[in-house]
Structure 1
């Protein structure tokens, strides 16, 4: 039989360690069968939570914005360079852990066992877009990308393992869709009610579709008593709808506000943020409460574009299970893609994302 400490303080410490380990195992699941690089990254997530969250009373973890989190070499603990836990306000198991998400997914897969495999993310342009959107073309080393094919390429990298296709544009009037609209009292601009799109989008999705993502030039709102939403999804309909966020009422000034007139880096980043966030919702992800993460909740465009483009270890674990990608290879391809965007459409957000990827790849490839 093993020896047992007679020191009460040591017994308490051991119990806390076991509780912390159990909590983190619940967050990320069994990592033994994963590739070494994936295990290394997910174990880093464990260490971050164990050392900086699980041992602290609720509310004592200092908050840190994502932009600050991309330059953390001066911190004493190098683990914080990549993943920064959120301020702890509830027990770790209260959020959507990997184990919680996996249990729901397994039940859904039982019902879908006899159905055809659905692996394609469809992007559906809705109504006409301005000429500068239609004529936009980004020339890379291999391809010439329109705005929609750029979004398609991003989806194929971010959700590596799934394919992505752009469907022909549809017109609301021609399709006779009954979409509620209004003119906002502050901006005086037209908005569509998001929920009205979901059934129509679902009907457009081909039989091999994993989900369908609608994109419209007209702004959106979620319900009568709310101002604006950049995008929203419906897991029931396997569909999402998002917009360019041209006239957000929050902070709107009629005298100084200007509509979008060109495709720049910030606009592309905003679209990549919303398309990745809403697609993850369609895969069953809830808002992340563990780390600064692409799946954090946001209440404005300004807040959304200051959040990371990348998933934390808990959410990445879910996505890796869905897609089956090699974590290291996915990051390498993503780094090349975003570096190309930063060179041609430079913005602070893309540079921050590239910096983060470089640190992440260095960590995964060293030693």
Structure 2
């Protein structure tokens, strides 16, 4: 197994910008936020551990992407920013997330709590769960796994239609496999940065 571990210098270069607008924001961080930021640079951090690659088929190895530092992320013209009018993350469950409705609801409560902590300051709201049939998406049976799979791109279109007016984004969650196109075996999730919609398969 290979471990991806970057030096403190590399991390600080990637995460801390000299952009004046960002520098002024760093200065406004409270003690807790500064402590959290410092955790990212500690080699023995419990919060930000190194990434372990188990095989050549791991996503980072098999799907190489150009690196992006925080400055590039901050300056991206397509980056969406919450506003007083659009400050809510909506979660749409598609099908059950467990064997029963009560188990499914428990999972969604955990997910809501996690999102509220991770996306601090945004409100997380739950949409009424819908069955897979309500999405009217194309589906297939995977030749290798024999699992049912639904078309990820068509779920994005479904979510876009369901997106409330005050939504910063809407996220679909499902336990059913996803595929983005016929030539792909599967995909973990898919998102649209312009429409503020995405879905994740568990």
TM-score (norm 1): 0.41
Q: Which residue of 1 aligns with 2:99?
A: 132
Summarize the Cα distance change of 1:178–1:136 in structure 2 as closer, same or farther, 3 Å threshold. closer
Q: Distance in 1 between matches of 2:90 and 2:72?
A: 27
Summarize the Cα distance change of 1:151–1:42 in structure 2 as closer, same or farther, 3 Å threshold. closer
Contact 1:221 1:227 in 2 (8 A): yes
Contact 1:213 1:240 in 2 (8 A): yes
Q: Distance in 1 between matches of 2:144 and 2:13?
A: 51
Q: Which residue of 2 aligns with 1:230?
A: 188
What is the SS of the residue equivalent to 1:95? coil
The answer to which of 164-173 and 196-205 deviates more is 164-173
Q: Distance in 2 between matches of 1:189 and 1:132?
A: 17
Q: Which residue of 2 aligns with 1:35?
A: 30
What is the SS of the residue equivalent to 1:146? helix
Q: Distance in 1 between matches of 2:170 and 2:131?
A: 16
Summarize the Cα distance change of 1:217–1:21 in structure 2 as closer, same or farther, 3 Å threshold. closer
| 1:218 has 2:176 as partner | yes
What is the SS of the residue equivalent to 2:173? strand
| 1:103 has 2:69 as partner | no
| 1:207 has 2:162 as partner | no
Computed over aligned residues only, the root mean square deviation of the Cα atoms, in angstroms, reads 3.6
Q: Distance in 2 between matches of 1:81 and 1:34?
A: 23
Once the two structures are TM-superposed, the CA of residue 150 in structure 1 deviates from its matched residue by 2.3
Q: Which residue of 2 aligns with 1:66?
A: none
Q: Distance in 2 between matches of 1:81 and 1:216?
A: 34
Q: Which residue of 2 aligns with 1:117?
A: 85
- Unaligned stretches of 5+ in structure 1? 1-19, 49-78, 87-93, 138-144, 245-367
Contact 1:201 1:214 in 2 (8 A): yes
Q: Which residue of 2 aligns with 1:338?
A: none
Q: Distance in 1 between matches of 2:195 and 2:78?
A: 19
Q: Distance in 2 between matches of 1:149 and 1:44?
A: 27
Q: How does 1:56-95 map to 2 (within 5 A)?
A: 79-82=42-45, 83=48, 95=67
Once the two structures are TM-superposed, the CA of residue 24 in structure 1 deviates from its matched residue by 6.3
The structure with the larger Rg is: 1
Q: How does 1:157-172 map to 2 (within 5 A)?
A: 157-172=117-132
Once the two structures are TM-superposed, the CA of residue 209 in structure 1 deviates from its matched residue by 0.9
TM-score (norm 2): 0.69
Contact 2:152 2:179 in 1 (8 A): yes
Once the two structures are TM-superposed, the CA of residue 149 in structure 1 deviates from its matched residue by 2.2
Once the two structures are TM-superposed, the CA of residue 153 in structure 1 deviates from its matched residue by 2.0
Q: Distance in 1 between matches of 2:175 and 2:71?
A: 38
Q: How does 1:1-367 map to 2 (within 5 A)?
A: 25-26=16-17, 29-30=22-23, 31-43=26-38, 45=40, 48=41, 79-82=42-45, 83=48, 95-104=67-76, 117-127=85-95, 129=96, 132-136=99-103, 146-173=106-133, 175=134, 177-244=135-202
Contact 1:199 1:237 in 2 (8 A): no
Count of equivalent residues: 175
Q: Distance in 1 between matches of 2:86 and 2:158?
A: 19
Q: Which has the higher strand share?
A: 2
- Unaligned stretches of 5+ in structure 2? 1-10, 52-65
